[in-house]
Amino acid sequence: MEPEVIIRKEGAAGRITLNRPKALNALTHDICLETLKALDAWAGDPEVRLLIIDAVGEKAFCAGGDIAQVYHAGRAGNFALGRDFWRDEYQMNALLAGYGKPVISLMQGFVMGGGVGYGCHVSHRVVGDSTQMAMPECGIGLIPDVGGTHLLARAPGWLGMHLGLTGARFGAGDAIATGFADHFIPEAGWPALIEDLVRTGDAGLVAAAARPAPAAPLAALRPEIDTAYNDSGAARDNGVAYVTLVARQLAALESDWAQGAAKAIARNSPLSMASTAAMLRGRGPEGGLRAALQQEFRWTWRSMDRGDFLEGVRAQIIDKDRNPRWRHATPEALTPIEVEAMLAPLGADELKFEEDAA
């Protein structure tokens, strides 16, 4: 049986290769645990000068987390399985981001949700010709997690809010323009780059191989997006009023992108969108990525019994009827108290990192 992730040392590199191409390299809990073990083992290994993260197959680097098992356990009343998965995944995200050696991710095809967390917090983030990124969690009753709120909050203008609320896809040029990636390298050149990195252990070769980024159509729309998503000081009290306002402003615009965004907001979970808006409007919590992961964990910890996650997964992935019955029919049906409750501290269940527990 093929391993889900191939972990080995080659020359001066520690290599991690996702190996579930038929499942679009979706992350499992075991993949996260194996990755954590490798990161710990290589941190003090002088033979490993850099790490390379890539994936088998042309269709996807990683299209997200494998959430079917979490869904079935949650439906049976077992919330611990999902909570343990998210806890370990977020700790892995933080370790990748703060790793003491260069980490190069090569992200082709679909890079969504958990794939963003796996490849977009490292030191050298490479995209290619086929890259299609997205944070589509509001469509399955979740929130942009795995540090997604940290990335979205720091995107220029209101681009991050647009991507977070709608789950819109974006290519390599926009991945760089929004801060999700660093370098564009045509995928035909990736095998030679990997070979050189393994041989030399020189992460500077990544920037040297980079080429001018492709067009960034989303970034080109930024003036219009900023107008549509800017609240002009109104509705600043909570995400509920903000999502309602943005939905109305988008619906009033005639451009194709705005109409598509309005349809996505009408389709996605009101609780997820209002919570996402509340998390992003302050440009993320103080404390950077780790604080964002802790805030996200509070929400995902409650997502199965108090949120729309199980219903969203049922509609989009299990039954595939694309007709979720959200807890709230519209954002107007929400109250700010409900959003605040999803983001409240967890006490003893708070997400902690390794050094915090020491």
Residue positions annotated with a catalytic role: 65, 114, 137, 145
Tokens of 132: 């299609």
State the Cα–Cα distance between residues 116 and 209, nearest whole angstrom: 22
Report CA-CA distances (Å) from 241 to 130, 136, 236, 297, 338. 37, 21, 8, 24, 13
Instruction: Give the closest residue to 115 by CA, choosing from 26, 189, 38.
Output: 26
At residue 110, φ and ψ (nearest 5 deg) are -70, 130
CB 184 within 8 A of CB 214: yes
Nearest to 54 by CA among 185, 237, 239: 185
Residue 357, exposed/middle/buried by CB under 10 A (0-12, 13-18, 19+)? exposed
Q: Say if residues 112 and 64 touch (Cβ distance below 8 Å).
A: yes
Instruction: Enumerate the β-bridge partners of residue 109.
Output: 60
Quick one: which H or E segment has residue 125? strand 124-127
Distance between CA atoms of 148 and 137, rounded to whole angstroms?
A: 10
**Cα separation of 209 and 187, whole Å?**
11
Q: Please check whether residue 9 is in contact with residue 15, taking contact to mean a CB–CB distance below 8 angstroms.
A: yes
